[in-house]
Structure 1
């Protein structure tokens, strides 16, 4: 009985006394020692397995990716970590009652998975398989790729914006270059029309026709610069009714025959302080958008009105404080817009037009111009019911200042010497003719480098430098700086058909200009120089 109890509490074997078989004793001792070694090895192995299991359970449980273990044959989820519970928003018990395919595609790659409430998200899926007790199990890892997808989308959007910006910059530079060359031609036309009027009389209908054509060409060039967005901003007191009238003539051609253009302008409209050309751009952008919303034709109506806002309002395009406003409106009979589109209407690069047919910058530009003018913009629209844009511009108590007019012919020259630098031969020739005919001595140069050479070589005084701004080899500004270093008393008068960064308007003539304008500016600068000396 004692031996049995010993075995039960862990003894390996037993011998009965007296011991007379020492060989058996040696064998039993050897077996006991071997069994003890094996038992220690088993305990160590079990401890290592337990530690390993705990370690890997901890790794899986703390993994940032959602890990789901499921049976390959049945597809039923066997286990999941905390990240899976958090990502899919099921409890662990609920997950183990699902098939893995109910969470989303199980193939490796980027797929759309769904949470418990049905909301979809993008997941990067990877998996590996192993066999346990004859069962094929699959360990599936899913990582929420929503942020990565959004970042990729934003990267592509930024690339597209950059491409559009570069394209628009190129178009703007092209438009500016065309305007420069065209204004040179208009300068020649205007000057020769003046020459003809001296011979045929200012009332001659042919002369008047040429002059009006040149003026209309100048207005079109002004619009070209407006579209290229290279015209400097000049806020001044303006009459919105007059701005609408000017734009109506341009829109009649832009909108096409299928669009009927109407206007309703309020009498005694309040003045506003804004850039007339930017207001024209606003109206053009809104009218063109209205045309695009009416593929089968319709009506676009431009309107003006006075409105007294007694309480602050929240508009689609910002806050509107109380005050007096002159209101511009553009109404169309087009397709209208949904609430979703209205919510994003003024976002840069947002467009509902087909790819390649819209940049998404038109309304963003309108919004920027209106805000820069101290105003606000509102929109009313419903699908199928057309749209109305209203622009509120703060009213001004000041009336527009009258345009300066030349009341008498400018005073002729007194033999002063003028250096004319112009790379367009025909423009240079007519400038020489005008100046010589009015009592000035003229030196000519075909470009900046030639102008500097003549300024350095001329032995007498040069009273005024008349130079184009855009020329090969050396710009007008560079030439003026070099000449001023050697001849500080020389007055500088710039001419330009187009420039992004020019000198102050005080010493700048914009082509096309009349003979009277040229002679008046020349005389003003020369008289100012004589006063200084």
Structure 2
């Protein structure tokens, strides 16, 4: 009986055909994989199972097609005969192929392979654990970063440095962890190590600022590439070394080194200045003394000749003033110290210094409301104020503002009276800041400054136990801060000159001086003053002359620094036999000498070289005890 074709027929036959095609294609693909892998155990097993599936599925599909064909062609009896056996045949075929697959799979080999894979797994886990132990045993923090900037692994020191758990770090971007930033580090002071690694520039070392659990610190990064078998970079490992404390120690060492250099330079300059001042003063005694004696005896000289002699004396005096400034830098001048209020000194200095300021310069004052008691030499501190204000004025040729302040400030447990002078002028270049206090150093045009102003200021301040701080940037003005120790107690009294009746003219004056020029000029001046000079080239000769003519000697002039015997030693020798004869100290190299110290030693007066006839007469006319 012929049945009409309908939609069920098409679907049944089409689906059966599709099953045959799909399972056949799957079998083909597995066969190709089996060929590519060299026929390993796993692929062989999969191949036979796929073949069994193909036979089973194809058998079922062919059965459906045969059913439709028998029914369509009118052979229902044939289909009725075969249909009871079709399912069993298909099942038997599938089981047969499965058994074949198992037989060809070599169970013993499969177990061996599974055991090997398990051992490899344990080995890999052991290696991973060992790798992590090595990482964690490192002294320095380490981080492994993928080429897409994500953290792959970190060690224990890294976790401790950043105060985080591993789960909070792994998988995140490296810059989020290291810099606490959502953006990649790629600035000049923070170049990205990964970019150097990817460009083939490795290993690489650089400095970064990282933000750890204790705040921001400076770290040194040593970055190396992790490469695959083909040499391609797959990751980067960073080893971090915290150098924050090391840099701080380096800065402290550099500061100490610079301070030591400054101290050595200062001491060298002071030694040089002292030596130059001594020699210059001795020469000036000859120049100025001879000119003065010529003027005294200038009865027959023309007025033009007298004028020239006076010019020589004026120039000598200017030179002497310059040397005194040098001696201030060397802290070689003696100061007459007394109790002062720093505010009063500042007001007096400003009153004189600002008179010469142009109207384009505005002066602002903010002095402390409380007194600032110090002990110091008024005239020298007065000079400090004038020098700083003059310096500020010269720094503002086109006008500007000067601010003068005073305050009490505690530094290292000690109270200071602080004078602050700020200007809005040209400022000082950084490389010149260390030189501005050197004698004769100046940035002004020739003829507009001697270069002694700031060096004198520093000498005065340090002689008062203080110090100067300066801050400046080129084009942004400068600020000078002068620190003088607060001193509430009254000043120590200075030993006063011991007085007695004036010396009588016609008596002898002993002169102990190793420099022949000074000795000759001093002899002439003593003669002009009405005394008889008795000269000695050194201290020992002076002792001998005093022993021979002591009863006739009314006073003694002695240089402090002499060969064989110093002025101090000469004084002691004279005092062994004579307690009354005045001994007057003279020196062109005061060094650490101060007038009050010399008076305490027993000298009746102290004359600094170069000196005038008037000063010598003053010393000889003093009343001595």
Relative to the length of structure 2, the TM-score reads: 0.51
TM-aligned CA distance change 1:126 to 1:278, over 3 Å: farther
Contact 1:126 1:141 in 2 (8 A): yes
TM-aligned CA distance change 1:93 to 1:46, over 3 Å: closer
Mapped pair 1:354 → 2:430: yes
List alignment gaps of at least 5 residues for structure 2.
1-114, 179-191, 195-202, 366-371, 438-453
Deviation at residue 66 of structure 1 after TM alignment = 0.9
Instruction: Give 1:7-156 correspondences, 5 Å limit.
Output: 57=132, 60-61=135-136, 63-71=138-146, 74-88=148-162, 91-100=165-174, 103=178, 104-105=192-193, 107-115=203-211, 121-125=218-222, 127=224, 129=226, 138-156=236-254
Rounded to whole Å, the distance in 1 between the matches of 2:257 and 2:193 is 31
Mapped pair 1:505 → 2:598: yes
TM-aligned CA distance change 1:246 to 1:224, over 3 Å: farther
List alignment gaps of at least 5 residues for structure 1.
1-38, 265-269, 308-312, 337-351, 529-533
Mapped pair 1:432 → 2:523: yes
Rounded to whole Å, the distance in 2 between the matches of 1:174 and 1:65 is 52
Deviation at residue 480 of structure 1 after TM alignment = 4.5
Partner of 1:222: 324
Partner of 2:505: 412
Superposed CA deviations along residues 12-62 of structure 1, whole A, max 9, x for unmatched, are xxxxxxxxxxxxxxxxxxxxxxxxxxx9xx99x979985x97676456436
Contact 2:513 2:558 in 1 (8 A): yes
Return the index of the structure with the highest Cα Rg. 2
The one of 330, 337, 350 equivalent to 1:235 is: 337
Tell me how many residue pairs correspond in the alignment: 433
Partner of 1:10: none
Instruction: Give 1:312-461 correspondences, 5 Å limit.
Output: 332=423, 334=425, 353-359=429-435, 369=461, 411-415=504-508, 418-423=510-515, 425-437=516-528, 438-445=530-537, 448=538, 451-452=539-540, 455=543, 460-461=548-549
TM-aligned CA distance change 1:358 to 1:247, over 3 Å: farther
The one of 140, 151, 161 equivalent to 2:259 is: 161
**SS at the partner of 2:432?**
coil
Contact 1:495 1:510 in 2 (8 A): yes
Rounded to whole Å, the distance in 2 between the matches of 1:486 and 1:409 is 20
TM-aligned CA distance change 1:299 to 1:465, over 3 Å: farther
Contact 1:259 1:299 in 2 (8 A): yes
Rounded to whole Å, the distance in 2 between the matches of 1:75 and 1:241 is 63
Give the helix-richer structure, 1 or 2: 2
Deviation at residue 80 of structure 1 after TM alignment = 0.9
TM-aligned CA distance change 1:179 to 1:412, over 3 Å: same
Rounded to whole Å, the distance in 2 between the matches of 1:226 and 1:137 is 67
Rounded to whole Å, the distance in 1 between the matches of 2:326 and 2:279 is 12
TM-aligned CA distance change 1:515 to 1:166, over 3 Å: same
Deviation at residue 495 of structure 1 after TM alignment = 1.5
The RMSD of aligned alpha carbons is 6.1
Rounded to whole Å, the distance in 2 between the matches of 1:334 and 1:517 is 43
Deviation at residue 442 of structure 1 after TM alignment = 0.9
Relative to the length of structure 1, the TM-score reads: 0.58
